[in-house]
Each structure stands twice: as structure tokens, then as C-alpha cells.
Chain A
């Protein structure tokens, strides 16, 4: 089944303890992205990647890192989590070469709910 898989789905951690949220897609998509969703703010893009080894900041990149060493994986790293990073996180991917620019269809993962105490 074509899908985007995120792990963990739920995590409670403490301030300052480094953590990684993994994202993997099995659709050979070039484009991958991370979003966070907070009440009243909708989904905001954190980082995105156009292809392997190509990443760029989204709207709210502070406090996050990403890497894209392989096409299928796009982990989100919180080096020193803080309570304001408590949120619901979504990874998404799309096939850039299948549609004209701007017409890409995103496939989202099921989400990872992170709580930082």
C-alpha cells in the first residue's frame, strides 16, 4: 500500500532531551515536507526537501533540523525540545515529476503527537 509512515505516533518527553521523528514513504516521491498543526493556527510548514540532499526552511524552522540522505526517508530532529514544540506533526510527500509545478498532490502521514514537559 502506498503510504507515508511516521514514528512514533505518540511521544511524551522532557525539555532538552533530543528526539527524532522518522518519516518514510514507499512511493519514490522526490518531494517531502514536515508540518506542525496547532489549535487555531492550521498547518504550518517546518522544512521541506525537493530531493535527496536538498532541504530548505519552511515557515517555522526554528528549533528543528532535518536531513535527506535517502529518497524515502526524511527525519525531523529536535535537538533540544522545548514545551512550545508540543504539537501534532505531519510528514507529507509528493511526486514532483508527475505534475506541473504547483499542481503536486501531497500524501500525508497519520501524524505524530509530541508533548514536551
Chain B
């Protein structure tokens, strides 16, 4: 399975945008890029996913590099409730398995 690389931790100030990077240099043409987050003491929660084009939803935006070897999750205006571990995951075509790494722990500074 293709792997992803994320920073272990990041900090951001409240009410400012946050850009969470993810490298996936071995991604194949049919792999989707997924982002989930896990708030303290909760199960992972879906954030966004995409294949080639940039994606927006009510939670975040996903910017995918033209060569698809990296992507960035953008939280437009961070709040304290966005403090969580964010996982960047590649899916496997034909198998709904999602392999979670250790993610990026995002701390929001008031």
C-alpha cells in the first residue's frame, strides 16, 4: 500500500488558517486521498477526500498537487475545537481499507 508522510505535530493560532501538509510520493492513479481527524477521546471523523481536483466542503479544503505526490488540508479559520490528530490516508482501489498512520497532532493556541 502507498504510504503517506505527515509532520508529527503543528501549532496554529486561533482564528487563523491552518495548512496541514501530506506527502504521498508513491500514490497510484486510482488512489483517493482521504483526511480524517480524531478529537480527544473520540473515534476518527471524516473530514474530506479527493482524487485529482481540489475539493471544498463545510469543514475544510483539500488542495492536491498537480503530480498528486502531495496534498494540503486547509482549515480556513481554526477554532479550539479543531485541536485534534489529523490523518492523511490513501485508499486502495477495490478495497475499502484505509490504512491510518500516526497523523499530525494539531494544537490551537488561543
Contacts of B36 in A (CB 8 A): 106
Q: Are B97 and A108 in contact (CB under 8 A)?
A: no
Tell me the residues in window 25-62 of chain B with beta carbons closer than 8 Å to chain A beta carbons. Answer: 30-32, 36, 41-46, 49, 51
Q: Does A103 contact B (CB under 8 A)?
A: yes
Q: Are B96 and A31 in contact (CB under 8 A)?
A: yes
Given contacts A48-B96, A105-B49, A106-B96, list 20 more A-B pairs with CB under 8 A. A4-B43, A33-B96, A35-B100, A42-B101, A43-B44, A45-B97, A45-B99, A48-B97, A58-B97, A90-B43, A101-B95, A102-B31, A102-B96, A104-B91, A105-B46, A106-B36, A108-B44, A108-B45, A109-B43, A111-B41
Listed from nearest, the 5 A-B pairs whose CB atoms lie closest are A108-B43, A43-B100, A102-B91, A42-B100, A102-B32
Which interface class (under 10, 10 to 19, 20 to 34, 35 or more) fits A? 20 to 34
Tell me the residues in window 10-49 of chain A with beta carbons closer than 8 Å to chain B beta carbons. Answer: 31, 33, 35, 40-45, 48
A residues near B (Cβ < 8 Å) are 4, 31, 33, 35, 40-45, 48, 50, 58-59, 90, 92, 94, 96, 101-111
Bound together, the chains give a CA A94 to CA B46 distance in angstroms of: 11
Q: Does B92 contact A (CB under 8 A)?
A: yes
